[in-house]
Amino acid sequence: MDLGLQGKVAPVTASSKGLGRATASALSGEGAKVVICARGEEALRDAERAMPGEVLAIVADVTEPETPKRLVDATVERFGGLDVLVANAGGPPPARALEVDDDAVETAVNANLLTSIRLVREALTHLRRAPWGRICCIASWGVKDPIPTLALSNIARTGLLAWAKTAAKDLVDEGITLNLALPGPHATDRMLQLGPADAGRAGGAPPRMGDPDGFGNVVAFLCSEHAGGISGAAIPVDGAISAGLL
């Protein structure tokens, strides 16, 4: 299927490794002009070399408040516009709900809620000039089925879901969709760092790890021309690990 992404401009944040990199690669493989960013230059350059299409790589920490504007400005300067935005940021460390302190909550909210809001805000002017626009925020299956050992992620990303569903209603008449992709455990460095007790089901049962490339393909479809009827949705890509009904 042709996803209608040929020549579209698509920044993907936190994209030197893991699910961000897989998503950028999927979009690039569909002919999109991809912008990738990450803090570590070595991993970023490796990802840049691996992209199948045209790519702009920017060394940046997307959680810093000034980065979203810098990233969007650089994208438009290089490619002349912006059609797709994939907002991604690394997850916070493990913690149980009754153990979190104020600083940890503020850090998680900044990285996994405010970062996406800032990116969307900066991108909207350019998305509104395109024939159609797509926004996808990468969150976690913990949004629908809270993970006991990842309380900080649950807090911030559930807030992101509430914001995205609200914002999607304001964008729907402009031809701009806004969705969340909710990955379960995938074979990434993040999952290796967490270990099975934090990444898996209740009780620490080791989960079946998904293929990051498969996740990237799901996000690419949500960002495609064909996905205009999907907005305000939170799509689990978790191999049926979540127990929630919605």
**Spatial distance between the Cα atoms of 210 and 207, rounded to a whole number of angstroms:** 9
Nearest alpha-carbon partner for 50 in 24, 20, 11: 24
Tokens of 60: 């940046």
Structural domain containing residue 207: 9-233
246 located within any domain = no
244 located within any domain = no
- Size of the chain in residues: 246
The pLDDT-based confidence of 29 (bands split at 50, 70, 90) is very high
DSSP alpha helices (H): ranges in the chain?
Answer: 18-29, 41-50, 67-79, 102-109, 115-127, 151-171, 189-194, 196-199, 212-222
66 located within any domain = yes
Q: Give the model confidence (pLDDT) of 132-177 as tens digits.
A: 999 999 999 999 999 999 999 999 999 999 999 999 999 999 999 9
Q: What is the CATH number of the domain that holds 19?
A: 3.40.50.720
Q: How many CB atoms lie within 10 A of CB 150?
A: 23
Nearest alpha-carbon partner for 59 in 43, 72, 82: 43
Q: Cβ(37)–Cβ(13) under 8 Å?
A: yes
240 located within any domain = no
Nearest alpha-carbon partner for 184 in 174, 171, 173, 196: 196
Average pLDDT over residues 11-23: 97
Instruction: Determine if residue 206 is left, alpha or beta; phi over 0 gives left, psi from -120 to 50 gives alpha, anything else beta.
Output: beta
196 located within any domain = yes
How far CA 179 is from CA of 131, 145, 146, 219, in Å, comes to 18, 18, 19, 9
Q: Which of 66-75, 152-161, 178-187 has the lowest mean pLDDT?
A: 178-187
The pLDDT-based confidence of 207 (bands split at 50, 70, 90) is low
Nearest alpha-carbon partner for 109 in 87, 123, 91: 91
User: Quick one: pLDDT at residue 72?
Assistant: 98
User: Quick one: pLDDT at residue 203?
Assistant: 45
Predicted structure pTM score: 0.93
**Spatial distance between the Cα atoms of 158 and 99, rounded to a whole number of angstroms:** 18
243 located within any domain = no
Tokens of 9: 């401009």
72 located within any domain = yes
How many structural domains is the chain composed of?
Answer: 1
